[in-house]
């Protein structure tokens, strides 16, 4: 039994003329589960498909979960890569001036600066998760605040973003602190 397109787009009204007000929870669904071609799907098959999806998603393309279970060094490398992308990824042609997507996204008034400040705050949060002390995260937050506030000024703020490089400063602070820590 297949459904017509009319039944999908405009549900049938009951004989009394009003729509059904029945509520369903996920555990007490009534009737068979039907795929897009109108064929019935057995619940066991659906459950197995979800298990396979979860295991495939958790492994990632190279056998590692891209969203977690990273080593300390992998997390630091990720932070440094993001900081470089934000601050020094590109070179202005004909000059030796380096800039990143922070300077490019910052050209979008207000919204661009909010986005780049949010990414910079995430970097500080990750540094804190790596064990950075309060005084170090306070300095990092100060760099992000200066970058965010001055960056709001049209054009001059964007030039300041290119020269100040708050994310690279923060990674330098974090790297110096990490180098002083004993290796476990």
Burial of 116 (0-12, 13-18, 19+ CB in 10 A): buried
* Tens of pLDDT, residues 52-109: 555 544 554 455 555 567 788 889 999 999 999 999 999 989 998 999 999 889 888 8
Q: Which residue has the tokens 């009394």?
A: 16
* Contact by Cβ (8 Å): 141, 125: no
pTM passes above 0.75 = no
Phi, psi for residue 161 in degrees, rounded to 5: -55, -40
Phi, psi for residue 41 in degrees, rounded to 5: -110, 130
Q: Which residue has the tokens 């066991």?
A: 44
């Amino acid at each position: 039994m297949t459904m017509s397109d009319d039944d999908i787009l405009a549900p049938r009204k009951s004989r009394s003329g009003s729509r059904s007000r029945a509520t369903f929870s996920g555990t007490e669904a009534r009737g068979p589960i039907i795929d897009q071609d109108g064929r019935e799907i057995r619940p066991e098959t659906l459950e197995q498909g979800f298990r396979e999806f979860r295991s495939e998603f958790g492994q990632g393309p190279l056998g590692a979960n891209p969203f977690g279970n990273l080593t300390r060094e992998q997390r630091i490398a990720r932070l440094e890569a993001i900081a470089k992308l934000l601050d020094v990824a590109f070179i202005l042609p004909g000059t030796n001036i380096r800039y990143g997507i922070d300077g490019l996204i910052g050209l979008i008034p207000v919204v661009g600066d909010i986005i780049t400040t949010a990414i910079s705050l995430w970097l500080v949060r990750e540094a804190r998760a790596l064990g950075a002390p309060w005084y170090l995260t306070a300095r990092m937050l100060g760099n992000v605040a200066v970058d965010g506030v001055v960056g709001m000024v049209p054009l001059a703020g964007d030039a300041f973003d290119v020269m100040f490089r708050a994310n690279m400063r923060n990674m330098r602070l974090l790297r110096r602190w990490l180098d002083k820590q004993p290796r476990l």
